[in-house]
Chain A
């Protein structure tokens, strides 16, 4: 039960030091070990509110009471290219999805959480010769989309695409792209995915499928926010 002062003071009555001290002592006792469950609204704090904070430098993550927060990116001034090829996707429009390397987080969710995953990528698509592959030249794209758990669970409705520089190669020496790279074949992608997780191991990252024989993810960044509260 709540603190109850043992003494009440009356106007015109001498203030006794013992009475005042008695009230203060009662308050001290209540504060130290007198607060009972009935004094507190139920469920004000549970395990998700008491988390040891720590840092995971390799993944750029920190964990604490509020959850997980952190970002990852290629990590240097020199682009580290990941190829996303139609040969991995089955050389068809909308083929298999595969992981884009280094772009996934795997974290231990301690309690039910709202998870927000942000991503961006810069992709160079093609040039790809129209004479090769089963997909029409104008249907050649490299897609990137977020996935949860594994790339087969990709959120394809959130996919972003980079069109092939679909004029392909210039015929004749010296060989090269038939059109200027920056007109088509350069893709700036970004997106956000929201999910909830009941607790346990969560993997979230980027997957790709491509109908371009050769496409390159030349820069990327991923951020995770997992909120317990």
Chain B
């Protein structure tokens, strides 16, 4: 934007020919370089939505996963049995090819706004009663007929799908978690110690329930009927969004890509001051995995008008 920055005349200061000439020279210089900011933004755009990021600087969309909506081809993400969790990128389940947004070249400037949205179809799979060996979770028992009982759980175990970006280069080999999203790679303690993340650092993730265990009410009253106390969670949506106002050291950096990573299985845990999600290796195993189908990721970089 062309603008005049010379201070105005001040009462009491001596008038000089140089200052007077400079005043007119400033106008001559400024009017030789009028640009979009002078004519469009200041005259037309900003009065409409002042202060908002209303200019789409960059935008992109990518189809995640594979198999279409009928889940014809899926990716299997295994659960972790030894921490920290292995984080698997969302890929084409048939070829193993990563499905990510990029490489792109989206330079970020101060006050830009980054918006990312994603949705995926997922299916948490398990076998038997993995919660019987859980490290976390309130174990409960249902009486299905004296003295028979079935072991149940609080059903708070979850899978995590979290957002990463590459702001290093277009090789897309330097992925890092976006601001306000932790990596779950830190030992935070818990029963026997385990890896997890403070809930104040989980602002770019989706959470998928690993299982739901419930009592199957008897039709005639009395004890619970045996057998069916847990149900296949079936295919279901996993949805997330992340917003970031560019500031500080990240202004001047460039976005080269976005991707999602999947990991689990976690359970809530707490200290006296904070809440966490921690890895429960007790329920992990070959028969507990997350099927990932298809979805899409949309990202925008918007600038103030």
Contact = CB atoms under 8 A, between A and B. Distances in A.
A149 interface: no
B197 to A, nearest CB: 23
Nearest to B299: A194
B35 A227 contact: no
B28 A3 contact: yes
Given A114-B56, A183-B212, A229-B45, A156 B17 contact: no
A70 interface: no
B149 interface: no
A53 B60 contact: no
Contacts of B300: 114, 116, 194
Nearest to B16: A11
Interface stretch (A35-43, A99-107, A198-206, A214-222): A35-43
Nearest to A19: B20
B296 A191 contact: yes
Nearest to A34: B31
A9 interface: yes
A190 interface: yes
B70 A192 contact: no
Interface string A107-127: 000000010101000000000
Interface string B57-100: 00111011000111000000000000000000000000000000
A161 B54 contact: no
A45 B237 contact: no
A160 B121 contact: yes
Given A44-B40, A183-B231, A227-B56, A3 B27 contact: yes
A193 B233 CA distance: 26
Interface residues of B, number: 60
Contacts of B188: none
A161 B27 contact: no
Nearest to B213: A183
A35 B34 contact: yes
Interface of A: 1-5, 8-11, 13, 15, 20, 23, 27, 30, 35, 39-41, 44-45, 49-50, 53, 64-66, 93-94, 114, 116, 118, 138, 141, 143, 145, 155-163, 166, 170, 172, 179-180, 183-184, 187-195, 227, 229
A161 B236 contact: yes
Q: Secondary structure of the B side of the interface?
A: mixed
B56 A192 contact: no
Given A35-B34, A66-B54, A180-B214, 15 more contacts: A1-B32, A2-B31, A3-B28, A39-B34, A41-B34, A45-B36, A145-B69, A156-B69, A163-B236, A184-B232, A190-B119, A191-B237, A192-B296, A195-B61, A229-B305
Of A39, A44, A158, A195, the most chain B CB neighbours within 10 A belong to A158
B237 A188 contact: yes
A161 B69 contact: yes
A180 B36 CA distance: 61
Contacts of A170: 219
B295 interface: yes
Contacts of A1: 32
Given A114-B59, A227-B54, A66 B45 contact: yes
Given A11-B17, A49-B40, A161 B56 contact: no
Contacts of B55: 227, 229
Contact of A229 (B16, B54, B295): B54
Contacts of A15: 15, 17, 20
Interface in B248-289: none
B45 A13 contact: no
B25 interface: yes
Contact of B296 (A64, A193, A229): A193
A191 B119 contact: yes
7 contacts: A3-B31, A27-B24, A30-B31, A143-B69, A191-B296, A192-B298, A194-B60
Given A3-B31, A39-B32, A116-B298, A49 B45 contact: yes
A157 B63 CA distance: 7
